[in-house]
Amino acid sequence: MRDQETYSDLTDLFAAEDRKMDPAPFVDEVMTGIRRRSLFRRLLLGAVGIAGAGVAAMQLPGLLANWTGLDQIVTRTVTDARQDASLVTSADPIWLMVGGVVALSLLAITSWERA
């Protein structure tokens, strides 16, 4: 503490210089950055959630058909769509890998990013 008292005049000089800076634009810029990140995270979480819900919905007809005898037309349409999707991936398996990498990246980002 005694050491710091020996240069308190210099500290005051630096502080006087710092006080000349206008805080408003800087604070706005920082808070805009924070809000932008937060919005991006929310959108990402929403997109991942919708994708997850879509995958879950695709599984539902098969599951429900056995239990409730759901309308066969609806069941067939969804099942066909699922088959079409799996055909695309089997025709070019690289898409499976790309999808896996994207899913893992999204998972990593959403787990690490703060709200």
Q: Which residues bind other proteins (CB under 8 A)?
A: 1, 3-4, 6-7, 10-11, 13-15, 17-19, 21, 23, 26-27, 29-31, 33-35, 37, 113-115
Cβ proximity to other proteins, 91 vs 114, nearer residue: 114
Shortest Å, Cβ 48 to other proteins: 20
For residue 73 the two structure tokens come to 């037309």
CA distance linking residue 62 with residue 60, whole number of Å? 6
Min. distance of Cβ 43 from other proteins in angstroms?
A: 17
Tokens at residue 19, please? 């006080």
Contacts of 61 (CB under 8 A, 6+ apart): 70, 74, 75, 78, 79
The minimum distance between CB 100 and other proteins, in angstroms, equals 27
